[in-house]
């Protein structure tokens, strides 16, 4: 089986490529990635010579029709991770989000329509907007779309394109909307790796606003296992929500990280809040449990965080070069 993984040099995509190479020897992988600032070449180098024979890396833009046509023509399936993915960047500069998330997804859809290729679209729970802290309801596949940021609006738009191509052209596709991921290879602009690497270089963690915002954390390997199950056994045309019941406020996460890293719980600074900051996300993954029997294997968020702290501590070479640039950008925003 030949699988194209778009965005395979980014956080979730690179973890997915490792899973394919490690656990699915029948699969050959073609990574289609334009290597933006969010990609890291060394995320894909830690593989055996045998695995290297099954991996092709194609440097190209998902919005480039010619290159997309070329890679999709030879593929049995496309798993589409490539995106501009950081909310804060979408607030300061939305243009690349529209280009990659909308035009890029459109370009891929046209190619899979032409070749009849199986397509899986990786999306986010942020398309549903946010919940009140005390709302007993969680997001389900029938929750109305209500995105808040340029990022989540562009992802919502990309989901709509996939839905329209499924209904109108009957392309064999599925969609998943997942909650916040954490784990190895995540870019240090994102909350958890930023807080961990801040501690490692001697900067206090930075909480936006009061830190009351809640995210529903899932380990990246659990997300990817669910994507694999949907790709294999999901119902064509359906949407699946992926989550691991991992709700925690940002303040609780920083407390835990401080404890794990040997600092007093309240050793952090409050900084300016994010514009339009979503309050809470929460996923109801019942459909995945009942239809595909998928359950997360990382059941302790604290243990997952401990492992993630270890990974960043042991892989300074992977992130150190980016730290100054990322922090300079945050400093400009008062973050």
Distance between CA atoms of residues 244 and 179, nearest Å: 8
Distance between CA atoms of residues 64 and 59, nearest Å: 11
Residues designated as active site? 125-126, 151
214-216 and 247-249 beta bridge pairing: antiparallel
3-class SS at 318?
helix
250: partner contacted, choices ligand NAD, ligand TDX, none (Cβ within 5-8 A by kind): ligand TDX
Nearer to ligand TDX, 85 or 117 (CB): 85
For residue 250, the minimal CB distance to ligand TDX (Å) is: 5
Half-sphere exposure of 96 (CA within 13 A, CB side): 18
Q: How many residues bind ligand NAD (CB under 6 A)?
A: 30
Q: Which residue has the tokens 């999709």?
A: 72
Site for ligand TDX in 291-330 (CB under 6 A): none
- Written as six digits, the tokens of 263 are 């600092």
Q: How many residues bind ligand TDX (CB under 6 A)?
A: 17
Q: Does 63 bind ligand NAD (CB under 6 A)?
A: yes
Find all residues with CB under 8 Å of 327, minimum gap 6, and list them. 203
Stretch that binds ligand TDX, among 23-31, 84-92, 114-122, 135-143 (CB under 6 A): 84-92
Residue of 18, 199, 215, 223 that binds ligand TDX (CB under 6 A):
215
Stretch that binds ligand NAD, among 83-91, 110-118, 256-264, 319-327 (CB under 6 A): 83-91
Distance between CA atoms of residues 105 and 83, nearest Å: 9
Mask for 100-139, x = binds ligand TDX (CB under 6 A): ------------------------x-x-------------
Residue of 30, 87, 90, 100 that binds ligand NAD (CB under 6 A):
100
Residue of 35, 169, 208, 318 that binds ligand NAD (CB under 6 A):
35
Query: Dihedrals φ, ψ of 38, to 5°?
Result: -80, -10
Stretch that binds ligand TDX, among 205-213, 228-236, 307-315, 319-327 (CB under 6 A): 205-213
Q: Does 175 bind ligand TDX (CB under 6 A)?
A: no
- Written as six digits, the tokens of 79 are 């798993």
Q: What distances in angstroms separate CA 56 from CA 28, 65, 251, 265, 317, one per listed residue? A: 8, 19, 41, 45, 24
Nearer to ligand TDX, 83 or 111 (CB): 83
End-to-end CA distance of the chain: 45
CB atoms under 10 Å from CB of 66, counted, come to 8
List the one residue out of 172, 175, 173 whose CA is nearest residue 156: 175
CB atoms under 10 Å from CB of 251, counted, come to 19
Q: Does 90 bind ligand TDX (CB under 6 A)?
A: no
Q: What is the largest CA-CA distance in the chain?
A: 57
- Written as six digits, the tokens of 198 are 């801040």
Residue of 77, 79, 207, 261 that binds ligand TDX (CB under 6 A):
207
Q: Does 208 bind ligand TDX (CB under 6 A)?
A: yes
Q: Does 318 bind ligand NAD (CB under 6 A)?
A: no
Interacting residues toward ligand TDX by CB under 6 A: 85-87, 124, 126, 180, 190-191, 194, 206-208, 213, 215, 250, 274, 335
Interacting residues toward ligand NAD by CB under 6 A: 6-7, 9-13, 33-36, 38-39, 61-63, 81-85, 100, 104, 122, 124, 155, 178, 180-181, 187
């Amino acid at each position: 089986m030949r699988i194209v993984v778009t965005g395979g040099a980014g956080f979730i995509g690179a973890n997915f490529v490792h899973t394919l190479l490690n656990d699915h020897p029948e699969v050959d992988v073609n990574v289609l990635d334009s290597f933006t600032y969010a990609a890291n070449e060394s995320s894909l180098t830690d593989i055996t010579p045998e695995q290297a024979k099954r991996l092709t890396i194609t440097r190209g833009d998902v919005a480039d029709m010619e290159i997309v046509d070329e890679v999709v023509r030879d593929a049995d399936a496309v798993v589409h991770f490539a995106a501009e993915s950081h909310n804060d960047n979408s607030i300061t500069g939305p243009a690349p989000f529209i280009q990659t998330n909308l035009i890029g997804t459109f370009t891929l859809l046209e190619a899979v329509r032409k070749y009849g290729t199986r397509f899986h679209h990786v999306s986010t729970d942020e398309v549903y907007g946010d919940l009140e802290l005390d709302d007993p309801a969680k997001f389900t596949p029938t929750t109305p779309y209500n995105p808040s940021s340029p990022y989540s609006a562009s992802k919502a738009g990309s989901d709509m394109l996939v839905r329209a191509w499924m209904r109108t052209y009957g392309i064999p596709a599925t969609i998943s909307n997942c909650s916040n991921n954490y784990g190895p290879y995540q870019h240090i602009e994102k909350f958890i790796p930023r807080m961990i690497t801040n501690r490692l270089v001697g900067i206090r963690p930075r909480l936006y606003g009061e830190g009351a915002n809640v995210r529903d954390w899932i380990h990246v390997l659990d997300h990817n296992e669910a994507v694999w199950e949907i790709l294999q056994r999901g119902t064509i045309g359906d949407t699946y929500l992926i989550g691991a019941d991992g709700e925690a406020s940002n303040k609780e996460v920083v407390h835990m990280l401080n404890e794990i890293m040997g600092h007093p719980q309240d050793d952090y600074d409050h900084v300016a809040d994010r514009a339009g900051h979503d309050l809470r996300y929460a996923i109801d993954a019942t459909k995945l449990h009942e239809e595909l029997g998928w359950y997360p294997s990382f059941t302790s968020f604290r243990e997952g965080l401990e492992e993630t702290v270890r990974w960043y501590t042991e892989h300074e070479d992977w992130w150190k070069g980016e730290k100054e640039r990322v922090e300079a950008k945050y400093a400009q925003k008062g973050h």
